[in-house]
Structure 1
């Protein structure tokens, strides 16, 4: 196995026609179906990079930017943005295309943290990421900062560290009523 791999070596892209069976009650493609496809392509990309079975550890923020219509082609693109020792961040971009007009829409982008596993389910070391150019460095740095921010946020609001009095003022203009019993 290589010690380092470029994002290009592990890139995966799939295109699928959206069928009536993929729709929700509003007639648009169900967000859950898109999330399922995103998880599948993140798995494929991470597995290709690590040459191992991978599991989803977390998904960072999923914003549905534009609805997807039944009959449109949906293209999902995945690439490795960050590598740690046993985990990697896979960037996933979702675009839809109206096949009659050719109009394309950016529907979603998200980041999946995937962890490589051996046959016994233990984490395994993965190849590092060979950064090519400014875009590769930007994506890696962004993922590293996103990870650090999540760790800080998690520890900041941990119940053993949380001081209520420090945060009461943040709630003044919110749609809440505070009741201390």
Structure 2
């Protein structure tokens, strides 16, 4: 593993197995989310150098299905850091392992918080600053996705308090 603060991108690959499939013959969205969380965790540890926990997933979009036996690639890229948090843009693509072009299947932003190993409390992470215009755009995108998610959470909470849930 790279030393903390240096591993900005991470790629993991999975084979979609028959046990991953839903009644419609496609891979369960929950399985895809598990792969996203596993890749995000590995990326967060690679950046922070310490145990990290998932705190949010925002803007998740299931664009195309994953089929049984597809080779699935989950790519993470750090796009924002807070004091203790790390935001990663995640793309999930799939293709027939015997050939064919990869297709984007899912995209989201996942946020992790680094934890210290002693008290289990948030601990600072190495900071990251955008170096290119693309990086700056990705950082802005991550912040917009998470702001939208926060707005949805507040709406759901207002509805719940009013007795709707």
| TM-score class, shorter | 0.7 to 0.9
**Aligned equivalent of 1:138:** 137
Unpaired segments of 5 or more residues in structure 1? 165-181
Instruction: Provide closer, same or farther for how the CA distance between residues 101 and 155 of structure 1 changes in structure 2, counting only shifts above 3 A.
Output: closer
| TM-score normalised by L of structure 2 | 0.84
| TM-score normalised by L of structure 1 | 0.77
Unpaired segments of 5 or more residues in structure 2? none
Question: Does residue 117 in structure 1 map to residue 115 in structure 2?
Answer: yes
Native 8 Å contact 2:109 2:145 kept in 1: no
Q: 1-side partners of 2:75 and 2:83: how far apart? A: 24
Q: Secondary structure at the match of 1:62?
A: strand
Q: 2-side partners of 1:65 and 1:30: how far apart? A: 13
Deviation of the 1:144 alpha carbon = 2.4
Q: 2-side partners of 1:121 and 1:107: how far apart? A: 35
Deviation of the 1:99 alpha carbon = 2.4
Q: 1-side partners of 2:151 and 2:5: how far apart? A: 29
**Aligned equivalent of 1:105:** 103
Deviation of the 1:100 alpha carbon = 3.2
Deviation of the 1:101 alpha carbon = 3.7
Native 8 Å contact 2:85 2:112 kept in 1: yes
- Number of residue pairs aligned between Structure 1 and Structure 2: 157
- Over the aligned positions, Cα root-mean-square deviation in angstroms equals 2.4
Native 8 Å contact 1:46 1:88 kept in 2: yes
Report matched runs for 1:58-73 at 5 Å: 58-73=56-71
Instruction: Provide closer, same or farther for how the CA distance between residues 137 and 98 of structure 1 changes in structure 2, counting only shifts above 3 A.
Output: same
Listed one character per residue, the Cα deviations across residues 68-123 of structure 1 (whole Å, up to 9, x for unaligned) are 11111000000111101111111110000112341221000011111110121101
Native 8 Å contact 1:95 1:108 kept in 2: yes
Report matched runs for 1:24-173 at 5 Å: 24-119=22-117, 120-151=119-150, 154=153, 159=158
Q: Secondary structure at the match of 1:130?
A: coil
